[in-house]
Amino acid sequence: MPAVAKPKKVAKPKPVEAVEWCEADVGGALRGMLGLGEGKRRAVYAVSELRGYAPRTFILSKYSGGTDDEATGYVVACTHGGQPVDCECRGFLRWGTPCRHLLAVGEMVFKGQL
């Protein structure tokens, strides 16, 4: 009987260690800059809101860092109550659990900063 290879274990994404927010001083869709601390790799995103969409939808455009070198940004959608429920990042698509983008946007909405 041939040996069966064991599936490779893959680590789940770690929760956000730090969230920093700098509100934009300009008008328009740009709301501010979001810094996500994640150990040695830090990601900074420009956050804008797609107005006129229900539920609220935010675009996180990568400014620097991050764990996915190919991604240029993500779209995060919220429920009508403001709870983030969907993200386009590979971690959320693979695991289906809240990623650092969902957690950060959720925190900003909860604090009234978005």
Considering the domain boundaries, does residue 3 fall inside one?
Answer: no
pLDDT value at 4 more than 70? no
Considering the domain boundaries, does residue 9 fall inside one?
Answer: no
| Predicted pLDDT of residue 23 | 83
pLDDT value at 10 more than 50? no
Dihedral pair phi/psi, residue 53, rounded to 5°? -100, 140
Considering the domain boundaries, does residue 5 fall inside one?
Answer: no
Rounded to an integer, the average pLDDT of 12-31 is 70
Considering the domain boundaries, does residue 6 fall inside one?
Answer: no
Considering the domain boundaries, does residue 2 fall inside one?
Answer: no
User: Domains in the chain: how many in total?
Assistant: 1
Considering the domain boundaries, does residue 75 fall inside one?
Answer: yes
Beta partners for 20? 35
Q: Is 37 helix (H, G, I), strand (E, B) or coil?
A: strand
DSSP string, 40-90: T--EEEEEEEETT-SS-EEEEEEEEE-S-TT--EEEEEE-TTS-EEEE-SH
Considering the domain boundaries, does residue 41 fall inside one?
Answer: yes
Amino acid of residue 76? V
Considering the domain boundaries, does residue 101 fall inside one?
Answer: yes
Q: Look up the domain containing 57 and give its range.
A: 18-110
Q: Is 20 helix (H, G, I), strand (E, B) or coil?
A: strand
Give 63 or 80, the one with higher predicted confidence: 63
Element of type H or E holding 102: helix 100-110
The pLDDT tens digits for 23-64 are 877 666 788 888 888 666 788 999 998 887 777 889 999 988
For residues 95 and 31, give the distance between their C-alpha atoms in angstroms, rounded to a whole number.
28
pLDDT value at 113 more than 50? yes
- For the chain, the average pLDDT equals 79
Beta partners for 62? 45
| Predicted pLDDT of residue 2 | 60
